[in-house]
Amino acid sequence: MSTRILTGITTTGTPHLGNYAGAIRPAIAASHADNVESFYFLADYHALIKCDDPARIQRSRLEIAATWLAGGLDTERATFYRQSDIPEIPELTWMLTCVAAKGLLNRAHAYKASVEQNEAAGLDADAGITMGLFSYPVLMAADILIFNAHKVPVGRDQIQHVEMARDIGQRFNHLFGQGRELFTLPEAVIEDDVATLPGLDGRKMSKSYDNTIPLFSSSKELKSAISRIVTDSKLPGEAKDPDSSHLYTLYQAFSNRTEQAAMRADLEAGLAWGDAKQRLFTLLDEQLAEPRERYHALMAKPSELEDILQAGAVKARKVAEPFLQQLRESMGLRSFAVQGADLTAGKKKAKKTSRVVSFRDDEGFRFRILNSKGEDLLLSKAFADGRAAGMATKHLQTAQDALDVRQVEQQLSIWLDDDCIAQSPKYATDAACDAALAELRSALNSDAAD
Ligand code: TRP
């Protein structure tokens, strides 16, 4: 079976060198591997969350589409589309919204950061926060789950969202899968060595730091940006340390081993920063010349880009449409005309899969959660009294997706208000630990449903 890779880029800005080297170029390279199917898209519904300038959204969609194609994406091989051309995505978003725990979304970093900013400024906690921002991870879960992606290459800031997609997908499987995995549970993939290209000042290259190097602007603009790269004040002839120089990091991201070794040796031998910048410029200018030309040719013919994206949407919907139909049916949105539809069969009562055992030892009141085979899934801490232990048990059984489960090495722990209230045994392998987590979630969810 092939591996499905999926990633999207929010269409709010003009792609810079960091977006290209960190996200677009590696994704294009990955799409050439055997046994992969890639789904790459313009996250233009996500763009609406951050931006209310229609002209900017439209320009950005065009620029980002042209960048993928100029970078050599083969749209015969990969499925390349705009999110807003796939109506199955917002449909699934609603279905998932009805399954996602609000408590889970309360914990999303982007939303939490906005609330904290408001509070720090003495404003109402939700001032200026739209439902779009709050529900952003559900839309992202729909993007990922509708194509049953296995791997989702993202930046560090997006890992939590992919994990939420897993949680939501798992819950949907549990509720509506009748024992089958309707959704594949996705995994975030972080490419650390390329993902964080430094900008002019050495911090991560990002529009919000105003430290970006343009991608497909003129050679002159490229040169001027490179001249602004911050270096230390070592004079020509003085030895430079390549490893503490982000100019070298940038050079590395675009050069082969031989070029890297030569640059390293020359810096150590005292190459002037001015000359090093010239070398970086020559390298980038040469490498970007061809895609730059393709980019401008594409930008000049938006209707060709439109055709390519329309064809991509057709291809994507061939997958999404029948799958969404199956999902609708799993939730009870079925045709009345289908013969033999069993309208009377209710939801089968889930077999109890777990047991809670309360007990008391020298340190206080505790409980265990056992699986159907009687093996320990969790052991609680010692509570001062039976009531506190009872409340913790109740929390476990009702928190559902808002349950704060953490994993350190191969051990799970459950947290409530910054307090570790229960721990699993230490498992020997990651797989055993993952299986225990799935077992625990399904045990707790079915308890709550009973
Ligand atoms: N939220 C992502 C970002 O801002 C973009 C995105 C939207 C995405 N949907 C996705 C990334 C699905 C991966 C998979 O970077």
Q: Which protein residues are within 6 Å of ligand 1, measured from CB? A: 6-8, 10, 43, 46, 140, 143-144, 152, 154, 158
Domain with CATH 2.30.29.80 in the chain: 355-449
Q: What is the mean pLDDT of the chain?
A: 92
**Where residue 357 falls among pLDDT bands split at 50, 70, 90?**
confident
Query: What CATH class is the domain 355-449?
Result: mainly beta
- pTM confidence score: 0.76
Which of 42, 44, 46 for a ligand 1 pocket mutation test, highest count of atoms within 8 Å of Cβ?
Answer: 46
Mean pLDDT lowest among 2-16, 43-57, 137-151, 392-406: 392-406
pLDDT at 105 over 80: yes
Q: Are 141 and 164 in contact (CB under 8 A)?
A: yes
Q: Is the pLDDT of residue 81 over 80?
A: yes
Please, are residues 144 and 162 in contact by the beta-carbon 8 Å criterion? yes
Which segment of 46-55, 185-194, 275-284, 309-318 scores lowest on mean pLDDT?
185-194
Per the CB < 8 A criterion, the answer to whether 385 and 365 are in contact is yes
With a pLDDT cut of 90, the percent of the chain lying above it is 76
Given ligand 1 and candidates 4, 9, 152, 162, which is best to mutate, with the most ligand atoms within 8 Å of its CB? 9
Average pLDDT, integer, range 14-30: 93
C-alpha distances out from residue 16 to 19, 62, 121, 229, 349, Å: 5, 14, 32, 15, 54
Asked whether the predicted pLDDT for residue 151 surpasses 50, the reply is yes
Ligand 1: residue whose CA is nearest its atom 13: 7
Beta-bridge mates of residue 406 = 413
- Ligand 1 centroid to residue 443 C-alpha, Å: 31
Ligand 1 atom nearest 139 alpha carbon: 9
44 compared with 428, residue with greater pLDDT: 44
Atom of ligand 1 nearest to the CA of 161: 1
pLDDT (average), residues 340-362: 64
Residue nearest to atom 11 of ligand 1 (CA): 8
Q: Which of 183, 340, 332, 194 is nearest to 254 (CA)?
A: 194
Q: Which residue owns the Cα nearest ligand 1 atom 9?
A: 140
Q: Are strands 151-153 and 187-189 parallel, antiparallel or unpaired?
A: parallel
- What pLDDT, on the 0 to 100 scale, is given for residue 343? 52
Ligand 1 centre to CA of 426 (Å) is: 34
Span from the CA of 153 to the centroid of ligand 1 (angstroms): 9
Gap from CA of 264 to ligand 1 centroid (Å): 36
Query: Would you place residue 353 in the very low, low, confident or very high pLDDT band (cuts 50, 70, 90)?
Result: low
Q: Hey, which of 154, 157, 163 would you mutate to test ligand 1's pocket, going by the most ligand atoms within 8 Å of its Cβ? A: 154
Question: Looking at residue 402, what is its pLDDT?
Answer: 85
Ligand 1, atom nearest to 140 Cα = 9
Query: In ligand 1, which atom is closest to the CA atom of 83?
Result: 9
Query: What residue ranges of the chain are covered by domains with CATH 3.40.50.620?
Result: 3-100+135-193+301-329
Residue 307 has pLDDT above 70, yes or no: yes
Distance 213 CA to ligand 1 centre (A): 22
What one-letter code names the amino acid at 269?
A
Question: Where in the chain do CATH 1.10.240.10 domains reside?
Answer: 216-299
Q: Can you give the three-state secondary structure of the chain, one letter per residue?
A: CCEEEEEEEECCCCCEHHHHHHHHHHHHHHHCCCCEEEEEEEEHHHHHHHCCCHHHHHHHHHHHHHHHHHCCCCCCCCEEEEHHHCCHHHHHHHHHHCCCCHHHHHCCHHHHHHHHHHHHCCCCCCCCCCHHHHHHHHHHHHHHHCCCCCEEECCHHHHHHHHHHHHHHHHHHHHHCCCCCCCCCCEEECCHHHHCCECCCCCECCHHHCCCCECCCCHHHHHHHHHCCCCCCCCCCCCCCHHHCHHHHHHHHHCCHHHHHHHHHHHHCCCCHHHHHHHHHHHHHHHHHHHHHHHHHHHCCHHHHHHHHHHHHHHHHHHHHHHHHHHHHHHCCCCCCCCCCCCCCCCCCCCCCEEEEEEEECCEEEEEEEECCCCEEEEECCECCHHHHHHHHHHHHHCHHHCEEEEECCEEEEEECCEEEEECCCCCCHHHHHHHHHHHHHHHHHHHHC
- At 447, the pLDDT band (50, 70, 90 cuts) reads low
Best residue among 133, 140, 148, 162 to mutate for probing ligand 1's pocket (most ligand atoms within 8 Å of CB) is: 140
| Contact call for residues 70 and 23 (beta carbons, < 8 A) | no
The protein residue with its alpha carbon nearest to ligand 1, atom 15, reads 9
For residue 308, how far is its CA from the centre of ligand 1 (angstroms)?
21
State the pLDDT confidence band at 449, using cuts at 50, 70 and 90.
very low
Q: What is the pLDDT of residue 193?
A: 62
Backbone angles phi, psi at 361, to 5 degrees: -130, -170
Strand arrangement of the beta sheet that strand 376-380 belongs to: 354-361, 364-371, 376-380, 419-423, 411-416, 404-408
The number of C-alpha atoms within 13 Å of 102 and in the hemisphere containing its C-beta is 1
Number of residues that make up the chain: 450
Cα of 7 to ligand 1 centre, how many Å?
6
pLDDT at 190 over 50: yes
How far does residue 27's CA lie from ligand 1's centre (Å)? 13
pLDDT score of 218: 93
pLDDT confidence bin for 442, thresholds 50/70/90: confident
- Is 349's pLDDT higher than 60? no
Structure confidence by residue, pLDDT tens digits, 208-238: 899 999 999 999 999 999 999 999 999 999 9
Q: Report the topology of domain 216-299.
A: Tyrosyl-Transfer RNA Synthetase (1.10.240)
Tell the residue nearest (CA) to atom 4 of ligand 1.
10
Contacts of 225 by beta carbon, 8 Å cutoff, 6+ apart: 200, 212, 213, 214
Say how many Å lie between the CA of residue 152 and the centre of ligand 1: 9
Testing ligand 1's pocket by substitution, the residue of 6, 79, 82, 143 carrying the most ligand atoms inside 8 A of its CB is 143
What class is the 3-100+135-193+301-329 domain? alpha beta
Nearest residue to 414 via CA among 401, 423, 426: 423
How far, in Å, CA of 45 to CA of 9, rounded? 11
Distance from the alpha carbon of residue 433 to the mean position of ligand 1, in angstroms? 28
Rounded to 10°, the helix 131-145/88-97 angle is 110
| Closest ligand 1 atom, residue 155 Cα | 15
Residues 242-267: pLDDT tens digits?
A: 999 999 999 999 999 999 999 999 99
Ligand 1 geometric centre to CA of 337 (Å) = 39
Measured from the Cα of 157, ligand 1's closest atom is 15
